[in-house]
Amino acid sequence: MSDDESSYPPELDAAKEFIEIETFEQILEMDDDDEDREFSTALVAGFFEQAEATFTSMDEALVKEDLPQLSSLGHFLKGSSATLGIIKVRDRCEKIQHWGALKDEAGNIEIKKEEALKHISTTIPKMKEEYKIAKIWLGKYLNIYDNPE
């Protein structure tokens, strides 16, 4: 098989744009039963609740222009999304973490508060959309919800 051919099952291969398949497969391997996937389903459902609560907190912190809180929330959600391999959310959270600390998206150069707020205010909606795509796919894959929206 060549490097550009996938060795993943088709249902996992379809998600590789927004899910780091190797990481997600490690979560699936922790299930005792491949049929009901109790462990991974509970982990993913818990992440959904946590992410949505964090989005609400981010929206509130953005209104208050509370950059340290936004940085903290970005760091928090970055970790949990990385655990499941939800890469686009993870990457956006890392940027929010840096901007909240008044650094550029790579965390290297200091930026002004106005610039940080501008970046964060445009990134949060994009992150929510990418989360929604991952949630729909994960919800269907694990049979968590009939209607995941």
Q: Using CB atoms within 10 A of its CB, is residue 23 exposed (0-12), middle (13-18) or buried (19+)?
A: middle
Give me the long-range contacts of 107-114 (CB less than 8 A, separation at least 24): 113/65, 113/67
Domain positions in the chain: 18-26+36-141
pLDDT, residue 111, reads 98
Structure tokens at 134: 């991952």
pLDDT, residue 149, reads 55
Per-residue pLDDT of the chain (149 residues; tens, 9 = 90+): 334 444 555 666 677 888 998 999 999 999 988 778 899 999 999 999 999 999 999 999 999 999 999 999 999 999 999 999 999 999 999 999 999 999 999 999 999 999 999 999 999 999 999 999 999 989 888 888 655 45
Tell me the whole-structure pTM to 2 decimals. Answer: 0.86
Into which CATH architecture does domain 18-26+36-141 fall?
Up-down Bundle (1.20)
